[in-house]
Amino acid sequence: MPEQDLVVWGETQFVSPYVFSCFVALREKGLPFRLELLSLSAGDHRKGEYPSRSITGRVPALQHGDLWLAESSAIEEYLDEVFPPPRYPRLYPEDVAQRARARQVQAWLRSDLMPLRQDRPTSSVFQGRAVSPLTSEGRAASERLIAAAEALLPQGAAWLFGTFGVADVDLAMMLQRLVASGDPVPKRLGTFAQDVWQRPSVQEWLARARSAGAPPGRP
């Protein structure tokens, strides 16, 4: 199916870490796509055909011809299979064990560390919103994040699995919740998070997020 048919459904505030992940994945793949924005505060995602098409009623969703697909990591796995190397850069490692590990990282980051997400919402990362000191729960979650990142990122490596991929984007996003607010992180993890942040795909998202200027939220 042609790449020109790709549509991504996102949200108007540009604070969703899941839309962010898909946006960066598509840009890194070099795939053209149209971004359709729903206002979650106005309940756009509960109106019209969106709930039945997306099935989850959440963003992001990908439209590719007749296919509608929600869940950010499912979207990314689909894109990597439909638009494979060598024509398109990989989002996931080639090696099966490393690919499984990348999926583990994504699944974990999407299902854990809630106190850190509450203390450091994505608006503090994408739009520089001020935050309070970490709560004790947030600090405990940040220690677990740092321990996991230390274990996952090989010493001296730029990326988690040899070449850049979506697991790097998602881990950097979580680490930026600390880095962007000046909370302490080990130097090499801070460097990793900042290196991901310098990528043109991420910079483009940040520019859009800043101009969207969302009020504080906690996705």
Ligand X SMILES: N[C@@H](CCC(=O)N[C@@H](CS)C(=O)NCC(=O)O)C(=O)O
> Is residue 72 involved in binding ligand X (CB under 6 A)?
yes
Residue 89 backbone phi and psi in degrees, to 5: -60, 150
Part of the chain binding ligand X (CB under 6 A), chosen from 54-62, 145-153, 159-167, 205-213 = 54-62
Q: What phi, psi does 12 have (nearest 5°)?
A: -65, -25
Q: Which DSSP category does 132 fall into?
A: P
Binding of residue 90 to ligand X (CB under 6 A)? no
| Residue recorded with tokens 């080990």 | 186
According to the binding rule CB under 6 A, does residue 29 interact with ligand X?
no
Q: Is 18 in the site for ligand X (CB under 6 A)?
A: yes
C-alpha angle with apex 120: 92 to 39, nearest 5 degrees? 75
Whole-number Cα distances in Å, 145 to 31, 39, 88, 112: 31, 31, 31, 9
Per CB under 6 A, 80 contacts ligand X: no
Which one, 45 or 185, has the nearer CB to ligand X? 45
The letter for the amino acid at 95 is: D
Among 16, 63, 123, 176, binds ligand X (CB under 6 A): 16
10 forms beta bridges with 37
Among 6, 13, 14, 58, binds ligand X (CB under 6 A): 58
| Contact flag: residue 45 with ligand X (CB under 6 A) | yes
Closest residue to bound ligand X by CB: 58
Pick the closer one to ligand X by CB: 72 or 142. Answer: 72
60 within 8 A of 75, measured Cβ to Cβ: yes
- Give min distance, CB of 185 to ligand X, in A: 23
Closer of 131 and 166 to ligand X (Cβ): 166
Q: Is 110 a binder of ligand X (CB under 6 A)?
A: yes
Contact 124, 131 (CB under 8 A): yes
Residues binding ligand X (CB under 6 A): 16, 18, 40, 45, 58-60, 71-72, 110, 219
